[in-house]
Structure formats: structure tokens, C-alpha cells
């Protein structure tokens, strides 16, 4: 089975540009998590969804960040406008919800490394 698929793997952009990161969940999973990893702050949860509905977006830094799940298998994380401090590796992870052979495990993609100049 294919794992969580993220694109692009690397993105270099200039300050002020719009950035869109994409994530495809593992088939059958219904929870989706976006994490950001930096040297200074480690792994931070930005937002997560259950069955396409955002449950906790308290980690989203500010209004420049938005995330959507247009369908059960796909999500986007958008930054508009981007700033140099947004440079980080962004991970997407998926899991099953509790009650459905739940294991608690998150399955991570390989990440999208964003550099904002």
C-alpha cells in the first residue's frame, strides 16, 4: 500500500509569494495532521482534521496559513503571503480514528522542505 504522499518535496520561493503544499492520505484513513518542524521549535502540530472537518487549528501561526480537505483523501496547506520565518519542513500524517481498529499511530509523509528567501 502507498504511504502518505506529499508534494512538492522541496520548494524555494520568494517572500510574498503564495505556497501550496499537498498531501494524499493513506487509503482508508480518516484523520489528517499537518506538522511543522524547525530547529528552534521542533515538531509543532498546526492543524488536524477528522472526516474532513477541522478539529484543532490552534497551532496555525496566523491568518496567512490555511488548510483544507476538499475530499476524504487529499489536503492542502496554503501560506499566503509567505515570509522567511515560514521556512521549515512541513509534514503531513494520517491515521484511523479511535474505534476503527485504532492504533494511535500516525503515519508520516516524507515532508515538504520550504525555503522562503
Partner 1 sequence: AQSVTQPDIHITVSEGASLELRCNYSYGATPYLFWYVQSPGQGLQLLLKYFSGDTLVQGIKGFEAEFKRSQSSFNLRKPSVHWSDAAEYFCAVGAANFGNEKLTFGTGTRLTIIP
| Residues at the interface with partner 1 (CB under 8 A) | 4, 31, 33, 35, 42-43, 45, 48, 50, 55-56, 91, 93, 95, 97-99, 102-111
48 neighbors 31 (Cβ within 8 angstroms): yes
For residues 59 and 81, which CB has a smaller minimum distance to partner 1 in the complex? 59
| Closer of 10 and 16 to partner 1 (Cβ) | 10
Entry field: residues in the chain: 117
Q: Which is nearer to partner 1, 37 or 81 (CB)?
A: 37
Which residue, 17 or 100, is less far from partner 1 as judged by CB? Answer: 100
Nine-digit cell string for 55? 478539529
Helix/strand/coil for 73: coil
Strands 112-116 and 10-13, by their bridges, are parallel
Minimum CB separation of residue 90 from partner 1 in Å reads 11
Rounded to a whole number of angstroms, the minimum distance from the CB of residue 53 to partner 1 is 10
Q: How far is the CB of 62 from partner 1 (least distance, A)?
A: 20
Beta carbons within 10 angstroms of residue 89's beta carbon: 17
State in angstroms the smallest separation of the CB of 110 from partner 1: 5
- Rounded to an integer, what distance in angstroms lies between the CA atom of residue 57 and that of residue 84? 22
Instruction: Give the pairing of strands 42-50 and 107-108.
Output: unpaired
Amino acid at each position: 500500500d502507498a504511504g502518505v504522499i506529499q508534494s512538492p518535496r522541496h520548494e524555494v520561493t520568494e517572500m510574498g509569494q503564495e505556497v501550496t503544499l499537498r498531501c494524499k492520505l493513506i487509503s482508508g484513513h480518516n484523520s489528517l495532521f499537518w506538522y511543522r518542524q524547525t530547529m528552534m521549535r521542533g515538531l509543532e502540530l498546526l492543524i488536524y482534521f477528522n472526516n474532513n472537518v477541522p478539529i484543532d487549528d490552534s497551532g496555525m501561526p496566523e491568518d496567512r496559513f490555511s488548510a483544507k480537505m476538499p475530499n476524504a483523501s487529499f489536503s492542502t496547506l496554503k501560506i499566503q503571503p509567505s515570509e522567511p520565518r515560514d521556512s521549515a519542513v512541513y509534514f503531513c500524517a494520517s491515521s484511523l480514528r479511535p474505534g476503527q481498529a485504532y492504533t494511535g499511530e500516525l503515519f508520516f509523509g516524507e515532508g515538504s522542505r520550504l525555503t522562503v528567501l
